[in-house]
Structure 1
Amino acid sequence: MKKAYLYLALSAATLFTACSKDDETTAPAATTTETTATINGAQQTPANNSTATGTFTGTYNSGTKQLAYTVTYQGITATAGHIHLGGPGVAGGVAVPFDKLASPITGTVTLTADQADKLLTNGLYVNIHSAAYPQGEIRGDIRKK
C-alpha cells in the first residue's frame, strides 16, 4: 500500500512540475520590416528603355502578416499594376493586384505565409503596365531596407 501512495505522490509531483510556467514556450515577438524598391524599365523582364520611374516603400508586420505599401510613379499612364511573385530577373504571377492606379498607390494587404517568405527573401516585385508595354513597362524588385 505504501508503494501505491508513493507512486501516486510521485505522479502528482511530475504532473505539477510538467505544467509549471517556467516550461512554457512563448511565440516569437512580432517584427516590423521596412521594404523598398526603385522602379524603372531596366529591371523589367525583358528590360526596356522606358524613361518612366517610380518607387515602392512598404512596412511588413510579422505578427499581423500585413504589408502596408506606397507606390509612386511618373512618366507613364498606367493600365494595370501589381505586386508579383518572382526574384530579380524572373517574371511571375500576380500576388497583390492594385485596386487603383493613380499615383500614389497605397494599400494594406494580409500576406500568405509563402508571400511573406518571398517578401523577406527578395522574391517579390512591383510592376506597372501601360498600353505601350502591356506585359509591364516598369518594375522594381522589392528588398529589405
Structure 2
Amino acid sequence: MRALRIAMAMCVAAALLSLTLATVAAHDDGDHRGGHQDTIWLAIMRGKFETPPRDTPARGFALFSMDGGSVDYLILVSKISNVFAAHIHCGAPGVAGPVGVTLFMGTPGSGPVRGVLVRSSFTGPDAGNACGWTSLADVVDNVTSGNAYVNVHTNDGMAPPNSGPGDFPGGEIRGQLRVVGQDDE
C-alpha cells in the first residue's frame, strides 16, 4: 500500500510539473531578451538540507513559474505535521538566512499535511525583509545565483521546540532553489 501511495504521489508531481512546463511552453513567444520570462524554479526539500540538518521523514518540493511580473507557485509535502509557515529565504547552501518572501502561514499544532500545502502567487518580496530585497528582480537575482532556498516550518505548539518531526520552528525541510534548465544553457 505504501509503494502505491508513493507511486501515486510521484505521478501527481510529474503531471503537475508537465502541466506547468507545457503551459510555459505554450505561452513562449520566443522573446527572451528580458532574461527571466517564462522561467521555472524548483526546490526539492528534505530535512538533511536544513541548517542544522533535521532527522525527519518529511519531504516536499516547491515549483515556481515566473511570467512577467508575477510568480505562481505550488508547494507539495508529505510525511509532515504541524506546518505553520513556508518561505523563500536568502542564503547559500548550508547557510541559514532571513525570510525574503512569505509563501504560506498556518496554525501551529495543525496536524498532518499531505499533498498540496499551498498554491498561490506573489509579485515581490515581503516589505522590509531582512534580505534587503526590494523588488521581484532582487528575488530572481538571488535564485539564479544559487542564494535562495525554500523551507517549511513546523511547530506542535508545545514546549520545548525542536523535539522531533512536526516540531522544528526554524524549519523542518529545506531545498535550495534552482532554475530548471539553467545548467543546460
* Deviation, structure 1 residue 88: 1.2
2:92 is matched with 87
Give the letter for the 1:121 counterpart. Answer: S
- Counterparts of 1:87 and 1:35 in 2: how far apart (Å)? 16
Structure 2 distance, partners of 1:59, 1:71, is: 12
Query: Which position in structure 2 is the counterpart of 1:25?
Result: none
Superposed, 1:85-124 pairs within 5 Å as 85-101=90-106, 103-111=116-124, 112=135, 113-124=137-148
SS in 1 for 2:80: coil
Instruction: Give the residue type in structure 2 aligned to 1:48.
Output: R
Length-normalised TM-score, structure 2: 0.58
In 1: Cα distance, 2:172 partner to 2:62 partner: 15
Answer yes or no: is 1:34 the counterpart of 2:40. yes
Give RMSD over aligned pairs.
2.0
Gaps of 5+ in 1: 1-27
Partners of 2:51 and 2:94 within 8 A in 1: yes
Aligned: 1:135 with 2:141: no
Task: Name the larger-Rg structure.
Answer: 1
Matched AA of 1:110: T
AA paired with 2:121? T
Q: Does 1:125 align with 2:136?
A: no
- TM-score of the pair, normalised by structure 1: 0.72
Q: Number of matched residues?
A: 117
Give, as a single letter, the amino acid of the residue that structure 2 aligns with 1:136: G
Distance 1:80 1:104, change over 3 A: closer
Structure 2: 5+ residue stretches without partners: 1-32, 107-112, 125-134, 156-166, 181-185
User: Which SS does the other structure have where 2:71 is aligned?
Assistant: strand
Q: Which amino acid aligns with 1:115?
A: V
